Amino acid sequence: MFQGVSLIDAKTKRAKKKFYVTTPIYYVNDSPHLGHAYTTIVADVLARWHKLKGEDVFFLTGTDEHGEKIEKAANSVGKAPKKFTDEVSERYKLIWKTLGISYDDFIRTTEERHEKVVKKIIELINKNGDIYKGFYEGLYCTGCESFKTETEIVNGKCKDHPSLELKLLKEETYFFRLSKYQKKLLQFYKDNPEFLSPVFRAPEIINRVKEGLKDLSISRKNLKWGIKFPLDNSHTVYVWLDALINYVSALGWPDGKSFKKFWPADVHLVGKEINWFHSVIWPAILFSADIEPPKKVFSHGWWTVEGQKMSKTLGNVVDPIAVSKKYSVDAFRYFILRQIPFGSDGDYSENSLKEKINGELAADLGNLVYRVLSLVEKFDKKIIGVDELFGKLRLQKIDNHMEKLEINSAIEEIWEFVRATNKYVNETEPWKKEKEELSNILHNLLEAVRVIAILISPFLPETSEKIFEQLGLNPQKFSDIKFEKKFEGKVKKGKILFQKVE
């Protein structure tokens, strides 16, 4: 039934779509850990998936380098902030390279191309009457780089950073008229029900916006390490306003070719604790500057480690590079993508990682490829018919899951096919067959392995490459997911893909 017939929905063949995905830009006071790697790997998977489908993709990540927190971190190691941020941002790039992150651009907020845009946007929102000078008094958390409201303070400390002292700031500041946008934001959420994603996080934002919005302090008088506030050089730009603008500065707003092609972002991936900045402040700034808002802000949950909050004090911070060295990059990627639904909180433990390696990676996938390629040594490339095996591949379902960012369900669905293929080996017992019947079974199996190699490529890029190498084929695209009558590769069985671990 699938002979020569593409399994791709006609829809995906139409005009070339664009896809713009972003990660938060990371503070450079810290080395990248599991939390940072998580958002970045998910963004990478989405970018690779859409590239695989032949879309025009732009994947942006970068570093957030201004503000009090970074200034302090630089001081504490006796370095000038610029030198310090140069070094840490390089470390980020190196780590992303090790983890196979295929970003298209890496923006640093200390770059001129960014600073220029920040200043222009501030001038624009000022022209539109949304900035005024005032005085602010409040408790500031350098961990969050924001003023805290009463409900965010527990026992005199910020609830997210209990180890830091809150700082009482009383200073002249410039305000952005955030309050002016309350109605417009509520209407926008109503008209764009997918903007606040996943849906279960929407009510919290909507209810808070309904309670009323306070104008936002967007400049700091006594902080040097920041972009000079264009309306008053004795101030610097508030680090969150500076940071959010990266999503358009990297594209060369307002006239850049990339801006015209890729904006609005299809999805900003963020952690739940920075959802407010992206879902409320960012669209309000864009409304004021007359720039279209992004299509979606997807806020994911937090990882704990063996049931505890990940923290330096507890000494349980998971270093993605150390884990990848011990078990492989793809094993680490697979675990964090597969373990929890994207959006929910999750718990990391080495034991669950090992379970995934031994089960789904070694026993299901690795074993399948090894078995098939071992059998194929006798193969004479003749095909009689396509067995029902290909009916087990539900490509549209996989694609729908990916569209909805249900990454672990997409993987589960791919693994259904991996397991179906293993079952097909067991049931057809090719070792008992000969001649045409044998070659028919093996052909079906080779085609299944080829399709699996395509499907897993966004999630497990190294493994996919290894399979293609063993199949004697170049990496293929989504449009190659169809059953071919002739297998074009030259198989050379290689090493087992995943070793079981103790």
Binding site for ligand MSP (CB under 6 A): 24-27, 35-36, 38-39, 64, 243-244, 246, 270-271, 273-274, 302-303, 310
Q: Residue 142 or 173: which CB sits closer to ligand MSP?
A: 142
Of 82, 97, 312, 326, which residue is the catalytic one? 312
Q: Residue 35 or 226: which CB sits closer to ligand MSP?
A: 35
Minimum separation from the CB atom of position 273 to ligand MSP (A): 6
Minimum separation from the CB atom of position 310 to ligand MSP (A): 5
| CA-to-CA dists, residue 34 to 120, 240, 320, 336, angstroms | 35, 23, 6, 9
Of 158, 278, 401, 443, which residue is the catalytic one? 158
Residue 20's nearest CA partner among 47, 42, 38 is: 47
- Assess whether 66 carries a catalytic annotation: no
Minimum separation from the CB atom of position 25 to ligand MSP (A): 5
Minimum separation from the CB atom of position 38 to ligand MSP (A): 5
Of 17, 309, 381, 485, which residue is the catalytic one? 309
Minimum separation from the CB atom of position 258 to ligand MSP (A): 18
- Assess whether 161 carries a catalytic annotation: yes
Which DSSP letter does residue 281 get?
Answer: I
Q: Is 81 exposed, middle or buried (0-12, 13-18, 19+ CB in 10 A)?
A: buried
> Helix or strand or coil: residue 61?
strand
Q: Residue 236 or 464: which CB sits closer to ligand MSP?
A: 236
- Assess whether 33 carries a catalytic annotation: yes
Of 79, 161, 221, 228, which residue is the catalytic one? 161
- Assess whether 443 carries a catalytic annotation: no
Contacts of 143 (CB under 8 A, 6+ apart): 69, 158, 160, 161, 164
Minimum separation from the CB atom of position 179 to ligand MSP (A): 22
Q: Residue 26 or 334: which CB sits closer to ligand MSP?
A: 26
Minimum separation from the CB atom of position 2 to ligand MSP (A): 40
Amino acid identity, residue 217? S
Q: Residue 4 or 315: which CB sits closer to ligand MSP?
A: 315
- Assess whether 114 carries a catalytic annotation: no
Residue 497 tokens read as: 């893909």
- Assess whether 50 carries a catalytic annotation: no
Amino acid identity, residue 312? K
> Helix or strand or coil: residue 205?
helix
Q: Residue 25 or 223: which CB sits closer to ligand MSP?
A: 25
CA 200 remoteness from chain centre: 19
Decide if 451 contacts 369 (C-beta within 8 A).
Answer: no
Mode of pairing for the β-strands spanning 297-300 and 196-197: parallel
Residue 451 tokens read as: 């399709």
Decide if 405 contacts 298 (C-beta within 8 A).
Answer: yes
Of 50, 69, 114, 144, which residue is the catalytic one? 144
- Assess whether 141 carries a catalytic annotation: yes
Minimum separation from the CB atom of position 254 to ligand MSP (A): 19
Query: Rounded to the nearest 5°, which phi and psi values hold at 132?
Result: -145, 155
**Beta-bridge partner residues of 132:** 175
Helices (H), 99-192: 112-127, 182-191
Q: Residue 36 or 235: which CB sits closer to ligand MSP?
A: 36
- Assess whether 144 carries a catalytic annotation: yes
Contacts of 300 (CB under 8 A, 6+ apart): 38, 39, 42, 269, 270, 271, 272, 342, 343, 344
Decide if 20 contacts 262 (C-beta within 8 A).
Answer: yes
Q: Residue 294 or 461: which CB sits closer to ligand MSP?
A: 294
Residue 20 tokens read as: 């713009």
**Beta-bridge partner residues of 158:** 153
**Catalytic residue ranges:** 33, 36, 141, 144, 158, 161, 309, 312
